[in-house]
Amino acid sequence: MTQMTTISDVETKSKQCKRETKQRKSARPIKRILDKASGDVVGWLYEWNTGHVVPMWKAEPFEDVFYR
C-alpha cells in the first residue's frame, strides 16, 4: 500500500529540517569524495554534531564517485 504525503506532513518535515539545521554547531570531514574516472578529489563528506552526514562539493556535485 502506498502512503500519501499530506501538506501537514510536509510542513512538519520542513520544521524538523529547520530545527536540525539550527542544532548543527560543528562538523568534521570523515571521507574524501573522489571522481571515479579521474581519481580527483571533488568534495568531502562531513559528519555534523547531530550525526547527519552531508557532502560538501568543491564545485558542482558529481554522480560517479567513490569515498575514501
3-50 residue pLDDT tens: 454 454 444 555 556 666 668 899 999 999 999 999 999 999 999 999
Give the count of beta carbons closer than 10 Å to the beta carbon of residue 8: 8
Instruction: Please tell me the distance from the alpha carbon of residue 49 to that of residue 55, in angstroms, as a whole number.
Output: 15
Does the pLDDT at position 62 exceed 60? yes
Q: What is the predicted pLDDT for the residue at 1?
A: 46
**Span 63-68, mean pLDDT?**
96
pLDDT score of 4: 53
Report the predicted TM-score, pTM, of the whole model to 2 decimal places. Answer: 0.66
Q: How far apart are CA 50 and CA 25, in angstroms?
A: 8
Overall residue count recorded for the chain in this entry: 68
